């Protein structure tokens, strides 16, 4: 294979991979339309903190800044930053928690274990601990 063809092939593959990453980072457009029906009251945030501690902290860490992962699952992402791979709106966060993250479901669905209001409380808690841009 000549050098030009090789370089062109690498460029196309790079662009194709970048396109896939950009699509994955966009999240779910339908979920993005969802609005949080649970007000972010101190009670909701406290309930969300409890739910997070029981269900999410084992993977995402006590401070929600990410978990180490292991041989079977990749490291869990930071939930306090402003850019999430599967969408950053309240609706997209709700959807990721409720339905998991396909296709590998490294983030399992919680819809059979948590009521919708409990998931929204976790969303409110995560918003309350989000790192503020300076």
User: H or E stretch including 51?
Assistant: helix 42-55
Q: Is the peptide bond before 59 cis (omega within 30 degrees of 0)?
A: no
Place of tokens 């959807």: 95
Bigger pLDDT: 110 vs 83:
110
Q: What is the pLDDT of residues 6-46, one digit of tens each?
A: 454 444 444 444 443 333 445 789 999 999 999 999 999 99
Task: Please give the pLDDT value at position 67.
Answer: 85
Torsional sign, CA 133, 32, 51, 76: negative
Question: In this model, does residue 83 exceed pLDDT 60?
Answer: yes
How far are the Cα atoms of 3, 20, 66, 71, 72 from residue 75, in angstroms, in the given order? 37, 20, 7, 10, 10
Query: What dotted CATH number matches 28-129?
Result: 1.10.760.10
Q: Write the DSSP symbol of residue 76.
A: P
What backbone phi and psi angles, to 5 degrees, belong to 15? -65, -40
Q: What is the pLDDT of residues 58-73, one digit of tens each?
A: 989 999 999 888 887 7
């Amino acid at each position: 294979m000549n050098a030009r063809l090789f370089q062109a092939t690498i460029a196309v593959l790079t662009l194709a991979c970048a396109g896939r990453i950009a699509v994955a980072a966009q999240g779910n457009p339908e979920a993005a339309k969802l609005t949080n029906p649970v007000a972010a009251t101190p009670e909701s945030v406290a309930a969300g903190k409890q739910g997070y501690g029981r269900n999410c902290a084992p993977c995402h860490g006590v401070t929600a800044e990410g978990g180490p992962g292991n041989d079977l699952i990749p490291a869990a992402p930071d939930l306090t930053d402003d850019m999430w791979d599967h969408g950053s709106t309240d609706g997209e966060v709700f959807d990721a928690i409720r339905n998991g993250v396909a296709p590998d479901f490294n983030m399992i669905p919680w819809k059979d274990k948590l009521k919708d209001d409990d998931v929204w409380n976790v969303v409110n808690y995560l918003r309350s601990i989000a790192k503020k841009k300076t």
